[in-house]
Structure 1
Amino acid sequence: AIDKISKDFPDIQYALVNSKSVGALNVSCLVFAEQEEAFLAGVVAASSSKTLKVAFISDDSDPQKILFNSFRLGAIYGNKKVRAISVPFIDSPVDLNNAIKNGVDLIYSTRIIDGQVLDLVAKVNSKKNGKVWLIAQSPDQYFLKLPAANKEILVTLDKRIDRAIADVMALSISGGSILDIVDDENSIYGRTYNFKNSGLTLTYLNPVTAATKSKVTRAISEIKSSKVSTQG
């Protein structure tokens, strides 16, 4: 719809938040550095895992394969001894359930369409056979707001949607626009929000070790200064 409207009314400036689906000079796509999120999730997972087995849960699309690579790099940064695996979740949690049975105790899930991953983690933890922690995305995963969610989630990686909206509102008042290059190949303009510009943050929902906090703090600092690559 925005693609058509932006062409029909080229003198009006539009903004898409958390999407880069439209390439036009009058459309600002405000997106988030998901590879940085995945990398940091890997750092948290690997530095917190007791079994030395962590998992990335997603569909099997090419963008998700790219994010798994970032997660894997983060896991190496967090603890080189940890094994990071990619577990597909298409229609059924069977593969994830098997991964947990085989020792995975830290999970980063990018699945946003339902709360099945959270439900499975809660079910496993109710049996008290060892804690399995979930690393989650906010606000994409709406089910994080459920009362029972907090006790299963170690940390959330937070997209500061409020910052993106505030930027749009400020520039709309002044008559400006946000036209940084987001995707040069596809002529996508707008802004990428990341740890450096405070567009991404991390929230601890449950205690982690001092060593994990130290690793996370150092990783964020090195991401900001480009001392570490989240893309391989």
Structure 2
Amino acid sequence: MNKNMGFWIMVLFCGIYIITSTAVAEPLKIAMVTDVCGVNDQSFNQSAWEGLLRAQKELGVKIAYKESRQDEDYGLNIATLTDAGYDLIWGLGFSMRDAILSTAQVNPDQKYGIIDFSYGPDTPLNVGCVVFQEEQPSFLVGYIAGKMTRTNKVGFVGGIKFPLIEKFEYGYMAGVKLANPACDIMSEYAKSFTDAAKGKIIASRMYQEGADIVFHASGSVGDGVIEAAREKNRWVIGVDKDQNFLAPDHVLTSAMKRVDHALIDMVKKLAAGEFQGGQTVVYNFSNDGVGIAPTSDRHVPRTVLDETDDLIRKIKSGALVVPSTRETYEAFIK
């Protein structure tokens, strides 16, 4: 065999090796663990799953989920997916903070993500945290409610009272007061994210007491709030995703928390080798992580939507800082 022939055989062999290696490359495997509301909650969890479905379609990743029926399921579900060899495992919701942390600490080579919680400077290098500025879209739907109420009374129904849900509450209240300082705001928590019957009772009472618009940030409790709006022929404002499809004639708008956008964005980063472990990514108006429902123009006048567009510009520029706590809300309305 002469030297030239040997050279070309080597080139051919390398080419076959490269082609074969490319062909057998495994797609990324991404999984998520839902909270107790389940994957078809028509809100938070469903939005996350829709994000992974987009990642499957656009990026060719393999996806899966495990549903949690109770808080005790979180650790088991995360461990099961860890054993199954997924490249990235998401825990949906702050309630999984302990389960994600403990599992990540004993599996340092496994990548995890958590939605709605940050470990701050103590975040493990194999964990990526995602949080949202929920007060921003809540402020806009509050502004819409303040402009559109005919009774000068509106309501807010929360799930369980803790700082994350309070961001929805105080952002909404600030928006209402900016649009209509004379408007009264009723607020009540269901102490649950799953009790739809409780949501219906609370919202029905608010409507009975004169509220004509109620905003909920309450998971599946909101199903009952929406049902009350339908029965009482009043307006309701949805949350997390565009919920107009649940009651097209009664869902005025929705405060969208783009969990779907965040998940596909983070999967793209993983595919590019840019997974942000040990860090927290914040989603807001500036990176399309929050917004109001695209169906808002079905019921909200164009003039009001133009005003909300102006508010978005002010928020993005920093000229307007939306309150997210009682203290910042009280300072805002003064």
TM superposition score category, shorter chain reference: 0.7 to 0.9
Deviation at 1:21, TM superposition (A): 6.1
Of Structure 1 and Structure 2, which has the larger fraction of its residues in helix?
2
Q: Percent identity?
A: 23
Paired residue type of 1:113:
S
Aligned match of 2:190 = 89
Question: How far did 1:51 drift?
Answer: 1.2
Aligned to 2:290: 200
User: How far apart are 1:148 and its partner, in Å?
Assistant: 4.9
Structure 2 residue ranges without an equivalent (≥5) = 1-74, 76-99, 329-334
Aligned amino acid, residue 77 of structure 1: L
In the TM superposition, 1:16-165 aligns within 5 A as 16=114, 18-20=115-117, 23-59=123-159, 61-63=161-163, 64-90=165-191, 92=198, 93-114=200-221, 115-125=223-233, 132-139=234-241, 144=243, 148-165=246-263
With the length of structure 1 as denominator, give the TM-score of the two structures.
Answer: 0.81
Any unmatched runs of 5+ in structure 1? 126-131, 180-187
Larger radius of gyration: 2
The residue number in structure 1 matching 2:270 is: 172
- Large movers: runs of 4+ above 4 Å: none
Give the deviation of 1:77 after TM superposition.
1.7
What does the per-residue CA deviation read over 1:190-212, in whole Å, with 9 as the maximum and x for residues that have no partner?
Answer: 21111111111212343212332
Number of aligned residues: 213
**CA displacement at 1:135 relative to structure 2:** 0.9
What is the match of residue 129 of structure 1? none
Give the secondary structure class of the aligned counterpart of 1:151: coil
- In the TM superposition, residue 224 of structure 1 has moved relative to its aligned partner by 1.1
- Distance in 2 (CA, whole Å) between partners of 1:171 and 1:216 is 31
Identify the range of structure 1 (213-222 vs 91-100) with the bigger mean alpha-carbon deviation.
91-100
Q: Displacement, 1:60?
A: 5.4
Greater relative contact order (Cα 8 A, min sep 6): structure 1 or 2? Answer: 1
Residue number among 275, 280, 301 corresponding to 1:190 in the alignment: 280
User: Quick one: which amino acid aligns to residue 230 of structure 1?
Assistant: V
TM superposition shift of 1:66: 4.4
Contact 2:216 2:225 in 1 (8 A): yes
Question: 2:279 aligns to what SS in structure 1?
Answer: strand
- What CA RMSD, in Å, does the superposition of the two structures yield over aligned residues? 2.4
Amino acid at match of 2:178: Y
The structure carrying a bigger strand percent of its residues is 1
Q: Aligned equivalents of 1:77 and 1:51: distance in 2?
A: 17
Distance 1:103 1:29 in 2: 41
- Secondary structure of 1:85's aligned partner: strand
In structure 2, the CA distance between the partners of 1:148 and 1:40, relative to structure 1 (3 Å rule), is closer
The answer to whether structure 1 residue 224 and structure 2 residue 316 are counterparts is: yes
